[in-house]
Structure 1
Amino acid sequence: MEMSLLFFSQLNMCESKEKTFFKLMQGSGKEEASTESKIRAKEKRNRLSLLLQRPDFHGETETSRSAFLAKETRISPQEAQKWAESFDKLLSHRDGLNSFTRFLKTEFSEENIEFWVACEDFKKCKEPQQVILKAKAIYEKFIQNDAPKEVNLDFHTKEVIAKSITQPTLQSFDAAQSRIYQLMEQDSYKRFLKSEIYIHLIEGRPQRRTNLRRRSRSFTYNEFQDVKSDVAIWL
């Protein structure tokens, strides 16, 4: 009787040791898993921190907005008032050109001023190869059908450019640039002078972020065929 009790007592002892061993092993596994998960979590936090520090992640940071507004407020009301004298004076002033471009972006028609600026840059080309490359780039970006920033030109003007693009000259885009200039002068420029962007400038008030609104592009060059084409537009 005593021996049987001793026998079962030994079995219980073994079972207890095994249970203790498995518990220790499970605890160690859980501890390792916990440590690994902590390391992964830390790595994720580090990656997120680096991502948040990237300027392009924020789009427009508070610092960039403040810097932009500070730049805008440096334009004196007296200088801004001169832009109302003529469209030429607006475009000949760097801040005037920037302000007008920002206004066109609110109407989703910035391709007009971008084309005009591209033409101005094109006429400064010195090397024949540079003339060919830039002319092709302007044609593909602004002129050809379904161009990413196609400007509003009549069929005849586009055809003339298309035929001359293989052997372009510094005057290849003059007619198109003149027409886009007239469109902006007769349409967008007048609205710019009445816009919140311009009014804030002449009143010396800090600029506010402008809500973008899509404007119907119902106007065409045909509306301005009576405008003289020999206007001196580049002074």
Structure 2
Amino acid sequence: METTLVFFSQLRMCESKEKPFVDLMHSSGRERKSDEVKIRAKEKRNRLSLLLLKQEFHEETHPCTSGHLAKDTRISPEETLKWGESFDKLLSHKGGLEAFTRFLKTEFSEENIEFWKACEDFKKIKEPQQIIHKAKTIYERFIQTDAPQEVNLDFHTKEIITKSITQPTLHSFDAAQSKVYRLMEQDSYTRFLKSDIYLNLREGKPQRPTNLRRRSRSFTYNEFQDVKSDVAIWL
């Protein structure tokens, strides 16, 4: 009788010790599975981001999409020499404006020239209603915080535009346009004159696709040359 009781007691003791151990194993297994799911989801997001980045770079550098290159090759070297005389002469020439815009795209700062061009078009508007509509479009695209192509302006300049946007005039963006113009003239323009885009045009050489590099990041398009373009590999 005592043997039976002892045996039964030992069985219950084994069971009581085994149950927490099993629960612990199941809990640990669920945690590992959850961690694995999170890791796989993170890896998938990262891979999709790289794919989208590669496709964006590819579209910018693909020869078939370089419509302006054919136009630029017809610009005489004599004309391009004038672009080096002043920033104003560069922007006043259609080919120069196109070449400079393409250069800014390689540095991912084309929002500056796009804003400048939008301001130039804005000052030519004659209809009052169009002034209000166009001013709001420019504000939402380039000025407001987190705008799709937000330009680098000081707080004071942005605040003045924000307060006047409900009743804009043809001069509402003059101060901002002037600041962006000076920024491009003192910074981007000097680099443009040393770039392959400009030097090749000045020497009459055919244009070649250029590597795109965002100066605020540490990677270039060349680093992703070995990434396959098949979306299926990321899924």
Query: Which of the five TM-score ranges fits, normalised by the shorter chain?
Result: 0.5 to 0.7
| Alignment correspondent of 2:135 | 135
| Alignment correspondent of 1:26 | none
| Alignment correspondent of 1:91 | 91
Q: Please show how residues 38-57 of structure 1 align to structure 2 within 5 Å.
A: none
CA distance in 2, matches of 1:212, 1:62: 12
Letter in 2 for 1:192: F
Letter in 2 for 1:210: T
Q: Please show how residues 182-197 of structure 1 align to structure 2 within 5 Å.
A: 182-197=182-197
Go from structure 1 to structure 2 and tell me whether the alpha carbon gap of 1:103 and 1:66 turns closer, same or farther (over 3 Å shift): closer
Q: Does 1:201 align with 2:188?
A: no
Q: Please show how residues 17-28 of structure 1 align to structure 2 within 5 Å.
A: none
2:63–2:209 Cα contact (<8 Å) kept? no
Go from structure 1 to structure 2 and tell me whether the alpha carbon gap of 1:172 and 1:92 turns closer, same or farther (over 3 Å shift): same
Letter in 1 for 2:181: Y
| Alignment correspondent of 2:177 | 177
- Say which SS state the counterpart of residue 150 (structure 1) adopts: coil
Q: Does 1:122 align with 2:122?
A: yes
2:61–2:209 Cα contact (<8 Å) kept? no
CA distance in 2, matches of 1:63, 1:193: 23
CA distance in 2, matches of 1:82, 1:98: 15
Go from structure 1 to structure 2 and tell me whether the alpha carbon gap of 1:146 and 1:79 turns closer, same or farther (over 3 Å shift): same
Go from structure 1 to structure 2 and tell me whether the alpha carbon gap of 1:68 and 1:171 turns closer, same or farther (over 3 Å shift): closer
Q: Does 1:70 align with 2:70?
A: yes
Task: Flag structure 2 segments of 5+ consecutive residues without an equivalent.
Answer: 1-57, 218-235
- Say which SS state the counterpart of residue 79 (structure 1) adopts: helix
C-alpha displacement at 1:70, in angstroms?
Answer: 2.8
Go from structure 1 to structure 2 and tell me whether the alpha carbon gap of 1:72 and 1:170 turns closer, same or farther (over 3 Å shift): same
C-alpha displacement at 1:69, in angstroms?
Answer: 3.6
Q: Does 1:105 align with 2:112?
A: no
CA distance in 2, matches of 1:123, 1:64: 34
2:73–2:205 Cα contact (<8 Å) kept? yes
C-alpha displacement at 1:67, in angstroms?
Answer: 5.8
CA distance in 1, matches of 2:213, 2:60: 19
C-alpha displacement at 1:68, in angstroms?
Answer: 4.4
- Say which SS state the counterpart of residue 183 (structure 1) adopts: helix
CA distance in 1, matches of 2:62, 2:161: 45
The two structures have a TM-score, normalised by structure 1, of 0.64
| Alignment correspondent of 2:28 | none
CA distance in 2, matches of 1:206, 1:147: 36
C-alpha displacement at 1:65, in angstroms?
Answer: 5.7
Q: Please show how residues 141-152 of structure 1 align to structure 2 within 5 Å.
A: 141-152=141-152
Task: Flag structure 1 segments of 5+ consecutive residues without an equivalent.
Answer: 1-57, 218-235
Letter in 2 for 1:88: D
Instruction: Count matched residues.
Output: 160
Letter in 2 for 1:138: I
| Alignment correspondent of 1:162 | 162
- Say which SS state the counterpart of residue 113 (structure 1) adopts: helix
CA distance in 1, matches of 2:204, 2:90: 17
CA distance in 1, matches of 2:87, 2:67: 27
2:108–2:214 Cα contact (<8 Å) kept? yes
CA-to-aligned-CA distance 1:95-121 (integer Å, 9 cap, x gap): 000000000000000000000000000
CA distance in 2, matches of 1:83, 1:61: 24
- Say which SS state the counterpart of residue 119 (structure 2) adopts: helix
Go from structure 1 to structure 2 and tell me whether the alpha carbon gap of 1:80 and 1:165 turns closer, same or farther (over 3 Å shift): same
Which portions of structure 1, spanning 4 or more consecutive aligned residues, are displaced by more than 6 angstroms?
60-63
| Alignment correspondent of 1:211 | 211
